[in-house]
Amino acid sequence: MEILRSWLIAPANRPSFLRKWHSCVADCYVLDLEDGTPETEKEATRRALPEIVAELKRGGLSGTLYVRTNAPRSPHTPRDLDAVLATDIDGISIPKLGSVEELKPYVCAIEVAEKARPGKRFGIIGGIESANGVLNVTAICAADPHLVAVYFGAEDFATDVGGMRRTRQGLEVLYARSRVVLGAHAARIAAVDHAVLDFRDEEQFREDSEFGRNLGFDGKVCIHPRQAELANLYFAPTPQEIDFSRRLVAAYEDAERRGIGTIAFEGLMVDGPLVKRARGVVAAADRIASRP
């Protein structure tokens, strides 16, 4: 599964924003051709995309580089795909993905591009941002091996549902968030939680990140480099969690060698499920530590 603690997105037509990426650390950087790029700028931005991608790659990024195209039903999308898949990106992000049928044209375009460039592999990160997307998320997540993750777009979802009022606590989108997490993890792909729009409110970002992580999300949509820094922290195991997990696994393995399958450990009754979770924490910590 991809490490996707921070999914940092910025308009593809704003070079001043993109240059800041070289001084920040994110797991995934996303050039936005959709909402972030105005209608009047889309064609010029597509033409400039090869140089934008080349400059970012030359400068060195800590994570993967994706481009978010326009939505499945947009007339811009075929031209987006032609432009994007000719560059050295790692994958595409599809906004407002509502069904498996809407995914198919993207997969077809990617397969053609991969055949033309032997050894090249493009990933897909799907945006679940509508009522249809939430209802179909399980099928979408399992539809194609190019899909490495999905993200939940709370603002577009609330708009699509109509009449939904957004709150700081976010309980109004809890069901949708939970569906996205379950669909993603059933398919063994990563789940990225929605953005906090007030990028100055670090306390809200912390609260929402911790809630999202408790739901099972692997990372967060970030709209500012500082948010990416915080997401890398909040969606990684803490030193305390790592230490506890290592000690629990060691104690259980020692008991197992003595023919004991259930143990008492620091006040907890521990058997298979808790040990598996502790091993997952250790494995995640090791994978993050091994990243360049």
**What's the pLDDT at 273?**
86
To the nearest whole percent, how much of the chain has pLDDT over 90? 74
Q: What is the DSSP string of 265-290?
A: ETTEEE-HHHHHHHHHHHHHHHHHHT
Average pLDDT over residues 145-157: 97
Tens-digit pLDDT profile for residues 188-216? 999 999 999 999 999 999 999 999 999 99
Closest by CA position to 255, among listed 241, 269, 243 = 269
* pLDDT digit string, tens, across residues 217-229: 999 999 999 999 9
User: What's the pLDDT at 292?
Assistant: 61
Q: Which domains does the chain have, with CATH numbers?
A: 6-234 (3.20.20.60), 239-289 (no CATH)
**In whole angstroms, what is the distance from residue 74 CA to residue 34 CA?**
10
pTM over 0.75: yes
**81 and 89 in contact (C-beta within 8 Å)?**
no
* DSSP of 190-204: EEEEPPPS-TT-HHH
157: which 2 tokens? Answer: 């979802």
Give the CA-trace dihedral at 177, 180, 182, 187, to 10 degrees. Answer: -160
Q: Binning pLDDT at 50, 70 and 90, where does residue 252 land? A: confident
pLDDT of 290 over the 80 cut: no
